[in-house]
Structure 1
């Protein structure tokens, strides 16, 4: 029977950040226009003597739908994972292609820096450790950044104590 090593420590904080995959207003208008074009294309049969213009319009609309879906789902693999341990902070970034990058920070020397706008909304969360400055969760909304920064700051204070 194989032996398994049990982990005796648990992280103080773990967060998996993923981009919002909701369609933007421009994307909704584009999808509605393409759908309207798809539904109206068979009506062109009544206006055109041949079927070739209808087939071209259908092919263009179908190509637009496929392109829109591809562009909308392209960010599906992008994510960030922040883990705060008592002795280190790990920040693992997975880009759109699936390539992973891991950075480690010392909680005693790492500083959490927040950038705020005129309305006191958090616009950027940055982690500074020496000369290295990394932006965390750049794809998040200001409300999400604010609550994430509060939780991460609490975890960093617990790691320092």
Structure 2
């Protein structure tokens, strides 16, 4: 019998997009938008401009579709796992498709792209194969704090 034992990683993180509105909040928001659209719809309907009601309904439908698409995007995530001899980035798309990319931590550098105000714009893993962007969906402050912690762990893995 062969047993495979894997040591605990030096660093592990799951990067997820920020979700500003809960599912219940989205339901309430759509209800408020529908109520706000119903008031002028009734006025226009009573004045004989009944086609306006359909357009107001399309506005509500458009907002619902936009919120649904946004909610779908929050299902994506990236898992970054660092061992002394291997760095793995597992990316899961909103549809569930998984892609795993492996790097050698001794030959990989973390590149932090900043603007003139020192605001973090992007994070890249750079090795011989090129650049790989990490956490493109994160806010600038989240990218900065992740870069600080992950950069320290990556330096520690090189020792």
Q: TM-score range by the shorter chain?
A: 0.7 to 0.9
Change (3 A) 1:79 1:94: same
List gaps (5 residues or longer) in structure 2: 22-29
* Number of the residue aligned with 2:47: 47
Contact 2:44 2:53 in 1 (8 A): no
List gaps (5 residues or longer) in structure 1: 24-30
2:157 to 148, 156, 159: 159
1:12 equivalenced with 2:15 (yes/no): no
* Number of the residue aligned with 2:26: none
1:115 equivalenced with 2:108 (yes/no): no
Distance 2:43 2:5 in 1: 66
1:68 is displaced (CA, Å) by 2.2
* Number of the residue aligned with 2:37: 37
Helix, strand or coil: the match of 1:56? helix
Cα RMSD between the aligned structures? 2.7
Change (3 A) 1:65 1:121: closer
* Number of the residue aligned with 2:141: 143
1:131 equivalenced with 2:129 (yes/no): yes
1:148 is displaced (CA, Å) by 0.2
1:10 is displaced (CA, Å) by 0.7
Helix, strand or coil: the match of 2:74? helix
Contact 1:38 1:61 in 2 (8 A): no
Distance 1:42 1:99 in 2: 45
1:69 is displaced (CA, Å) by 2.3
1:81 is displaced (CA, Å) by 0.8
* Number of the residue aligned with 1:26: none
Change (3 A) 1:121 1:61: closer
Change (3 A) 1:119 1:54: closer
Contact 2:87 2:104 in 1 (8 A): yes
User: How many aligned positions are there?
Assistant: 150
1:67 is displaced (CA, Å) by 1.5
